[in-house]
Structures are given as C-alpha cells and as structure tokens.
Amino acid sequence: MTLLDQLASIVGAGYVTTDPDVLAGRVVDQTGRYRGHAQALVRPGSETEVAAVLRACRDAGACVTVQGGRTSLVAGTVPEHDDILLSTERLSAIDAVDTAERRVRAGAGATCAAVQHAAAAAGLVFGVDLASRDSATVGGMASTNAGGLRTVRYGNMREQILGLEVALPDGTVVRRHSQVRSDNTGYDLTSLFVGAEGTLGVITGVDLRLHPVPPHRVTAVAGFDDLDALIATGRRLRDTDGIAALELVDARASALTAEHLGVHAAVSGAWQLLVEMAGEADQTDLLADVLADAELTGEPAVGVDAGASQRLWQVRESIGEVLGWYGPPLKFDVSLPLSDVARFADAAAAVTAEHAPEAIPVLFGHIGEGNLHLNLVRCNVSGESERALYTAMMNLIAECGGNVSSEHGVGSRKRDYLTMSRTDADVAAMRTVKAAFDPTGYLNPAVLFR
C-alpha cells in the first residue's frame, strides 16, 4: 500500500488530495513571495487521525509540514521537501464556554474570530486579537506564541493557554488538560509546545483562558512629529492601570490607507499613537491627563462610544490590506528595546534606501512591547539582492539590541539568523529537544533550524 493509500484509509479519500491546482495555492506564503513543493494535502478530522497520519509519514520517510490558517509571515508553512501538508482546518470545534471557570476548549483549526465570538456570546473576552483574526487559527497562534493588539493588557498566547492536546512525531497523543489553575506537577509540557512552531508535535486542541469584559472603554489617537516623544508617552501609558491597547502607526502607512482605501488618519503628524483604555471605571480623565503632558502635533482624537472607537481603529486595521498593493512586501517582525526604536526607524530607512531605493518602509506595531512590523512596500528585489537586504536589516536589528523574531516565529525565513538572538549553547539545547521528540527530523523540517 502506498503512503497516499494509507493516508486515505486514515482520514477518508475525500480528505486527501494531490490536485496540482489545490497544492499550488497551499505551497505559497501569505505574501506570495515564497513558494515550496508538496506531494499531497491531508486534512485529518481528529487528534487520533492526526497521530495516525504522522505515524504513517514517519514510517514512509516523508516530511510533513503543518498548516493552520497559513497566516505565517516567515514562510513557516511553506514546504521545502516535497512534503505531505497536514492541515488542521477540520479541527475547528469549539466546546461550550465554562463561564464559572472562564475557559473554553477549542480545536486547533478554530479561528481567532470564532473563539472571540464564542467568548462574547458568553459575556467574556478572549485576550488575543490579531488583524488576521478571521483566518488565523488558535493552533497556529499557539505554535508561534502570537501576541497581537491586546498583548499589553492580557499577554500573548502562552498566557491564555491552560492546557492542550498534541500529537507527537512518534504518533502518540499527549492530552494535557488540568481543571485547576495552579498545577506545578512535573515538567511544564504545555509551555514547551507553545512557541515551538510545530517542530515538536502538532497541537490539535487548546484550553483557553477567558477574561471579564471591561464595562468602560475609551480610545484615542494622538499625533507626534518626534518618535522619541511618542515612545516616552507610550512608556507612561504602558504602565498605567487600564491600558488595553497601545499601537504605533507611521504616516506612510496612513497615507497608503487614505490613497487606496479612503481611510484617513484622524490626526496629523509623522507618527500616530493609538491608545485604548478599559476598566471598571471610566478611564477618560486618566487618559487625558497623560496626553496633556505629551508633545503632540495637535489635539488628539477621542472616541468614547463603540462607533467612534471603531472609526479610530480603522487605519490600524486597514494597514494589512494595503501592504500588498504594489506586490509582495518584504516583512520584518522584530522586538526592540523601546530606547532603540527611533534609532532603528531611521537606520532601517537608510538600509532600505541603499538596497531597494524604490521601496517604501512602513513601520507599525505593538509599541507597548516593542514588537514592531517593518514592511517594505514596493520592494522589487529578489535572489541575492533580497538576501543582502534581509541580512543587512537583521544585522541592524541585532545592533539595536533587538530580537530577530517576535510574534510570528522564526519559520524558514529567519532560521539563518537564529544565532543573532540565541547563543550557540541555546541552539544546541533546542536541537537536543528536537532530536528527543523527532529523531528523524521529518516534522516541519524547514522551520527553525537549517
């Protein structure tokens, strides 16, 4: 029996495809810049089927690349070895919300938006929010330890995960579900798989922490001409009780949303700071006090009701839609010390001008954590020219004391730069863990390590 026959017997013939047109759409990353090779797509419907698929592929010597919503920005779901693509899309069930314990169990293929809707229907909130919420899956978000728009308040995915199910490379299933909040028995296996980018096992389901809905919310956008002044204000707000979101947007980004989508910035200035406060009491006066001392370019725009708040979020929410207007952008997802963000912004513009003079550098992201997204729009470099630009930018990030990867992971795009953020001993330890779980290295082989 061939491997494809075995896979069909495990999941059903209708859930295995070798159609070239289907595979062509599955082997390319979200930007359209990177493309790989796969021999088949398999879509298991349970954790036991996932485990059986892994066992069959391992025994056949076939590589497996795991795919969720395929929103990776570091080519983390792009296969390189004529792989079997294992999609978690059918693992999308969401159990009833436990309102007493404020938790819910969701399949790895459930989207962020679906979990948000389930939480909201129960009068609760899921702590992670992403612009790609309609397609990003909680399994993929756990695998990359995603952060997003609310990290400054609730933390990243690791802080939301109370337990999980994971199919290991040897075909066994670990079900790590605990009903207690304080569980300090043995190794913290849950944390081991969160952020491992699918290299140690396939997350098939997660138990997610939910939070009360704050009754009061206020949103503001403030304009700055000086980035250091914005960062100083961001520091104060980050440490203020009630902070719910703290986002940086540069004027080049808002110019693109205005030109192509008709979504205009609410304030002027080279840099914009979007702030949201939420709590048991009205936070408007507290926000006003902080902004009163800031070096603004003009009056901030403030929204105290849901409609006004949504309008102020429009530019930030629309950025992703315009980044690919001139073709696939070149993306950098980085973490930086706040004290070096302004230096990085200036130097990154210079690096871009040197290597890709036609490109437009667009900087935005989660300024509360220093997790920023630099996108080079209209960046028409490829091959060695692209690699030279990418390496120069990675070197700059390291010089600024930053981390080459933040909420999107290392994937395959950043694996050559791993040692810029991890010592040789760190990498050796990670390889030892990988070898213990996956001795033949067949699971997500393009990710993290060369």
Give the confidence band of 270 by pLDDT, cuts at 50, 70, 90.
very high
pLDDT at 60: 96
Would you state the pLDDT for residue 246?
Answer: 96
Give the model confidence (pLDDT) of 110-169 as tens digits.
999 999 999 999 999 999 998 889 999 999 999 999 888 899 999 999 999 999 999 999
Predicted local distance difference test score (pLDDT) of residue 73: 67
**pLDDT(240) > 70:** yes
Q: Which amino acid is at 265?
A: A
The predicted pLDDT at position 214 comes to 93
CA dihedral 402, 406, 412, 413 (to 10 degrees): -50
Quickly tell me which residue has 């973490």 as its tokens.
335
CA 172 to CA 166: how far, in whole Å?
Answer: 9
Weakest mean pLDDT among 12-21, 96-105, 142-151, 165-174:
142-151
What is the gyration radius of the CA atoms in the chain, in angstroms? 22
Residues, the chain: 450
- What's the mean pLDDT in 22-46? 89
pLDDT tens digits, one per residue of 280-324: 888 899 899 999 989 999 999 998 888 889 999 999 999 988 988
Give percent of the chain with pLDDT exceeding 70: 99
* Averaged pLDDT, 94-100: 97
Q: Find tokens 């890709």 and name the residue.
A: 356
* For range 232-257, the mean pLDDT: 93
Cα–Cα distance, 256 to 260 (Å, whole number)? 6
Mean pLDDT of the chain: 92
pLDDT of 75 above 70: no
Token pair 């859930």 is at which residue?
15
Among 54-63, 181-190, 229-238, name the one with the lowest average pLDDT.
181-190
Instruction: Please give the residue that has the higher pLDDT: either 382 or 32.
Output: 382
Give the pLDDT confidence score for residue 389 in this predicted structure. 95
- For 356-364, what is the mean pLDDT? 94
Q: Is the pLDDT of residue 20 over 70?
A: yes
Percent share of the chain, pLDDT over 90: 72
Range 193-213 average pLDDT: 96
Class of residue 238 by CB neighbours under 10 A (exposed 0-12, middle 13-18, buried 19+) = middle
pLDDT band for position 104 (50/70/90)? very high
Ramachandran region of residue 188, left (φ > 0), alpha (ψ -120 to 50) or beta? beta
Q: What is the C-alpha separation between 48 and 86, in angstroms, rounded?
A: 13
Categorize the per-residue pLDDT at 429 as very low, low, confident or very high, splitting at 50, 70 and 90: very high
Q: Are 358 and 380 contacting, i.e. CB atoms less than 8 angstroms apart?
A: yes
Residue 253 contacts residue 364 (beta carbons within 8 Å): yes
pLDDT surpassing 90 at residue 413? no
Cβ atoms within 10 A of the Cβ of 416, count? 15
pLDDT value of residue 410: 80
As a whole number of angstroms, the distance between CA 249 and CA 251 comes to 7
Give the torsion through C-alpha atoms of 434, 437, 440, 445, to 10 deg: -50
Between 76 and 380, residue with greater pLDDT: 380
Does residue 18 carry a pLDDT above 90?
A: yes
Report the pLDDT value the prediction gives residue 203, as an integer from 0 to 100.
Answer: 97
Contact 173, 51 (CB under 8 A): yes
Q: Which of 221, 319, 314, 219 is nearest to 267 (CA)?
A: 221
For residue 320, list its beta bridge partners: none
Q: What is the 3-state secondary structure (H, E, C) of 338-374?
A: HHHHHHHHHHHHHHHHHHCCCCEEEEEEECCCCEEEE
Give the DSSP letter of residue 107: E
